[in-house]
Structures are given as structure tokens and as C-alpha cells.
């Protein structure tokens, strides 16, 4: 095992001691980020400056640390709902602040050879709503030319005034992207952004390819075959492409999906590992030993994965039977001032899905997919539904409860049921773009129920229910 591998293994095993525990899920506001910035004011290791204000007047700061000749600009949450790297950046700051451990030499190297500028939340207005765009509904990452958003102007001014040698553009992406046309989720994807339509490689872009190659080699030890490459097509409006064009070596990191990690805490750790690996390779110049081959071997991201894929279900309609697959995706819906979420699960594709995969799969060969029954009730409060035994209702084929209550919009229930308020009871089994609620029967017996895209085995143990839906 070489010295780099020893460093990576030690870093992986020691991560919990550097993790910023006040950030435990992705939905946090700028007030929490500001608290973490404020506690560093007065620390001689840092220079903290206000770079400007968002459209709604929220301050946007950068944190400067290190004294080295190689300037590196890192920014996160350009899209307000992409917070994985924000968490990782504060983990990195904790790492750089630590002392008297096995990483002292690495820290000294990074801080003496680089000067780091962290912008931990470029789009605080978007983060307030946990949405991609800013308060003007502008996608900041498509505003590098017109600069219609104040946040865009701040980023360009930082690049132009600092003239960093390297830039890290830190994002999240749809968690269902696959590594090529495989069943592997693209947990992390990289891109050395193009600076022209021909996707040429000059000295500036070459360095991005080399740094990425080292990060990928490290990650393959922890997420083998789960690293992808973002589409290289030149986007003339995008910051990444333009910053590469303006002379800063630009490295794009996209955090995708990892099964069992909805809050992206493991992916956050992988970001921590990746960025520190990159900073180390820049500080000691070891990235220059890399070629292009490993970068171009990375498969491009594709969309071959659903959250839940049901194969070979039989549907009977108008006296005719046919077999179909159902690709179901679970979309996060914000609530409680965008600090929490529930799922709305819809049938995203229908028909022959034999070339696709599911994070969860169920082979419904021999099962008939049918509309669940509807139980009509007259209640004054939704809480009165608690008098039902939902497991027994599902066994009897009931998936829908029709109430006389008025809906305030889509919401969730801890019951494994689909509650209908303003919606009429369905007259047929769901199909393309419907919410995925139905039963699977064999020989007239209800064996499985799917409610809001979650499968319940009715002969199995009674689970804890959290994924019903109200509409």
C-alpha cells in the first residue's frame, strides 16, 4: 500500500472525528451556515469576507484559509437544494483546524501550498425554500453571460478578482442517474468542463482531467464502478464551462444517489474524501503524473434506474390482458418550511422496461395488477382514520380511503393508505404518470399492496408505516 492509499484509508476511518454534527440532513437554512461561519471570526487561520448579497438581501460570504501560492475557489449550493458538498466543506474546515494527529503533515502541506476560498452557500434564497433556482427563479448556473442574478455577479467577480488556478463547482444531481447503461447508481460524477463546442483539451482543462483521475482512483476503493462522468457537451451559458474558458481549471463534482442514504451522509463523506484527495494532489503537484486515460474510461451518466421497478405484471382492461413493467420514482416533496420532506411516487414509465433497473425490484410474474378498493368514510378530522387497522384493510384489498374532508394540497400520512379528499375514487388501475397505488393478486387473493410507490408483503411482518399519501 503506497503513502497515498494509507492517507485515504486513515482519512476514511477517521472521518467521524471531523464531521460537522450540526449539519445532519440536507435541508438547512443559511442561518445555520452563518453560525458556523461566525464561530470562526477572530480565528487567525481565517479571513472571512462578505462578497455581496443575494436577491433577497442575504449576505454571501467566503472563508479564506491557507497561505500558499496556488489559489483554489470552492463554491457550493449554487443550486439551493444541492447541499451535500456544503456539509462536506465544513467537515473539511474541521479537518484543517485539527492538530496533533496523523494528518499534521498533510494539513501543513495543503495550507502552505494553497490558499483556499470557500463559498459555502452561493444561493441562500434557494436554500431557504430548498429549491434549485434563486428567488428570481433564475438558474444561476445558466447565468454566466447575462449575469441577471446578483449571486451570478458575485461568483464572476470572485473568479475575476482572485484569478484562482483551480475551481471546484460542487453540485448534487438526480439520485437515479446510472453509470452508463448499468444497474449501478452514479454516486459521484465528475466533469472537466468543456470550454468550447469542440471539447478541446488545453493546458487548463488538462489539469482538471488529471485531478479527477486521482479522485476517481481513490473512490473506486469505496464505491467500485459507481463513479460516472457528466455529459461533456459545451453549455455556453454555464459557469463551469465559462470559468474553464476564463483560465481557471474547473472541476465539477456531482453528488448522486446511494441506496439507503436519502440524506446523503455517506455521499457527504465521499465528497470530503474526494476534495481532500484533490487538494493534497494539487499541494504536492502529484496530479501532474496522471494521464487522460482513466478519465475518459469513466462511463457517462445515463438514466437507466428507477427507485422501484415492477416487472411482468399482468393487467386486465376491457376484457383484454397484457403484461407490463412499471418504473416508479419517489419524488421528494418539501414541507414544514422546507425543512422536511415526504414522497410522492408516480409511475414514470410503463411498458417494456427490460433494459432498465430498479434500486428495488419485484418480479410480478403470475400476479394481476388491479385497482385497490375504496372505503368511503365521513369524518371531521383526518386523525379519526387511526381507528382502522390498515394492515387488515390492505389484506381485504382496500388501498384508498375517500373522505368528505377538504384538502389543503398534497400531504402524507403515517398510514400505508392513499387518502382521497378532493380527488374522486379511481375507476381503473393506475397507469403512466399516476401515483403508484394498486394491489397485486394471485388466484383472487391479495398478496401485495403498493401504496404511493412502496410495496407491502401482506403475508409478511407488519412494518412501520410512513409513506402513505393524502391528496
Task: Name the pTM for this structure.
Answer: 0.96
pLDDT of residue 408: 81
Residues 313-334 have a mean pLDDT of 96
Cα distance between residue 456 and residue 459, in whole Å? 9
Cα distance between residue 50 and residue 150, in whole Å? 13
pLDDT of residue 56: 98
Residues 357-371 have a mean pLDDT of 98
Residues 61-82 have a mean pLDDT of 98
Residues 68-93 have a mean pLDDT of 98
Between 382 and 333, whose confidence is greater? 333
Band (pLDDT 50/70/90 cuts) for residue 2 is: confident
Residues 328-348 have a mean pLDDT of 97
Residue with cell 487567525: 44
Is 80 exceeded by the pLDDT of residue 381? no
Those residues whose C-beta lies under 8 Å from the C-beta of residue 38, and which sit 6 or more positions away, are none
Is 80 exceeded by the pLDDT of residue 383? no
pLDDT of residue 318: 87
For 213-270, how does the pLDDT look when each residue is reduced to its tens digit (9 = 90+)?
A: 999 999 999 999 999 999 999 999 999 999 999 999 999 999 999 999 999 999 999 9
- Nearest to 223, CA basis, from 168, 260, 181: 260
pLDDT of residue 382: 73
pLDDT of residue 1: 67
Query: Which domains does the chain carry?
Result: 3-302 (3.40.630.10), 306-470 (2.30.40.10)
Q: What SS3 string covers the chain?
A: CCHHHHHHHHHHHHHHHCCCCCCCCCCCCHHHHHHHHHCCCCCCCEEEEEEEECCCCCEEEEEEECCCCEEEEEEECCCCCCCHHHHHHHHHHHHHHCCCCCCHHHHHHHHHHEEEEEECCCCHHHHHHCCCCCCCCCCHHHCCCCCCCHHHHHHHHHHHHHCCCEEEEEEECCCCCEECCCCCECCEEEEECCCCCCCCCCHHHHHHHHHHHHHHHHHCCCCCCCEEECCCCCCCCCHHHHHHHCCCEEEEEEECCCCCCCCCHHHHHHHHHHHHHHHHHHHCCHHHHCCCHHHHHCCEEECCEEEEEEEEEEEEECCEEEEEEEEEEEEEEEECCCCEEEEEEEEEEEECCCCCEEEEEEECCCCEEECCEEEECCCCCHHHHHHCCHHHHHHCCEEEEECCCCCCCCEEECCCCEEECCCCCCCCCCCCCCECCEEEEECCEEEEEEECCEEEECCCCCCCCCCEEEC
Cα distance between residue 282 and residue 82, in whole Å? 26
Is 90 exceeded by the pLDDT of residue 384? no
- Nearest to 4, CA basis, from 214, 252, 253: 214
pLDDT of residue 386: 78
Cα distance between residue 322 and residue 299, in whole Å? 36
Cα distance between residue 51 and residue 123, in whole Å? 12
Amino acid at each position: 500500500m503506497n503513502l497515498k492509499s494509507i492517507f485515504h484509508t486513515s482519512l476514511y476511518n477517521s472521518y467521524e472525528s471531523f464531521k460537522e454534527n450540526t449539519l445532519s440532513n440536507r435541508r438547512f437554512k443559511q442561518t445555520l451556515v452563518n453560525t458556523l461561519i461566525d464561530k470562526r471570526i477572530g480565528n487567525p487561520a481565517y479571513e472571512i469576507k462578505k462578497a455581496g448579497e443575494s436577491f433577497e438581501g442575504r449576505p454571501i460570504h467566503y472563508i479564506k484559509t491557507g497561505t500558499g501560492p496556488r489559489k483554489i475557489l470552492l463554491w457550493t449550493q449554487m443550486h439551493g437544494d444541492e447541499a451535500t458538498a456544503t456539509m462536506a466543506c465544513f467537515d473539511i474546515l474541521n479537518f484543517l483546524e485539527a492538530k496533533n494527529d496523523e494528518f499534521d503533515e498533510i494539513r501543513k502541506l495543503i495550507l502552505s501550498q494553497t490558499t483556499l476560498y470557500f463559498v459555502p452557500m452561493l444561493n441562500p434564497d434557494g436554500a431557504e425554500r430548498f429549491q434549485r433556482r434563486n428567488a428570481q427563479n433564475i438558474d444561476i448556473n445558466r447565468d454566466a453571460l447575462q449575469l441577471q442574478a446578483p449571486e451570478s455577479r458575485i461568483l464572476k467577480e470572485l473568479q475575476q478578482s482572485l484569478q484562482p488556478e483551480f475551481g471546484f463547482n460542487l453540485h448534487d444531481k438526480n439520485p437515479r442517474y446510472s453509470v452508463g447503461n448499468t444497474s449501478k447508481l452514479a454516486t459521484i460524477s465528475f466533469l472537466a468542463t468543456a470550454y468550447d463546442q469542440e471539447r478541446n483539451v488545453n493546458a487548463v482543462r488538462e489539469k482538471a482531467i488529471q485531478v479527477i483521475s486521482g479522485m476517481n482512483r481513490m473512490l473506486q476503493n469505496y464505491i467500485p464502478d459507481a463513479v460516472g462522468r457528466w455529459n461533456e457537451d459545451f453549455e455556453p451559458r454555464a459557469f463551469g464551462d465559462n470559468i474553464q474558458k476564463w483560465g481557471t481549471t474547473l472541476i465539477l463534482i456531482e453528488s448522486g444517489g446511494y441506496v439507503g442514504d436519502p440524506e446523503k451522509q455517506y455521499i457527504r463523506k465521499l465528497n470530503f474524501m474526494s476534495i481532500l484527495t484533490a487538494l493534497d494532489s494539487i499541494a504536492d503537484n502529484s496530479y501532474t503524473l496522471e494521464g487522460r486515460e482513466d478519465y475518459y474510461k469513466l462511463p457517462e451518466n445515463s438514466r437507466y434506474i428507477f427507485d422501484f421497478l415492477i416487472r411482468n405484471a399482468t393487467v386486465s382492461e376491457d376484457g383484454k390482458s397484457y403484461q407490463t413493467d412499471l418504473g416508479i420514482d419517489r419524488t421528494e416533496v418539501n414541507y414544514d418550511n422546507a425543512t422536511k420532506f415526504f414522497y410522492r411516487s408516480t409511475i414514470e414509465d410503463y411498458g417494456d422496461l427490460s433494459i432498465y433497473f430498479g434500486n428495488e425490484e419485484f418480479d410480478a410474474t403470475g400476479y394481476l395488477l388491479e385497482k385497490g378498493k375504496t372505503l368511503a368514510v365521513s369524518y371531521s378530522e383526518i386523525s379519526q382514520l387511526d381507528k382502522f387497522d390498515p394492515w387488515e384493510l390492505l389484506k381485504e384489498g382496500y388501498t384508498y380511503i375517500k373522505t368528505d374532508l377538504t384538502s389543503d394540497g398534497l400531504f402524507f400520512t403515517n398510514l400505508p393508505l392513499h387518502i382521497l379528499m378532493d380527488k374522486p375514487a379511481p375507476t381503473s388501475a393506475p397507469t403512466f404518470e399516476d401515483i403508484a397505488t394498486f394491489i397485486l393478486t394471485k388466484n383472487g387473493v391479495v398478496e401485495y399492496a403498493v401504496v404511493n410507490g412502496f410495496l407491502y408483503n401482506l403475508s409478511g411482518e407488519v412494518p412501520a408505516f410512513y409513506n402513505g399519501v393524502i391528496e
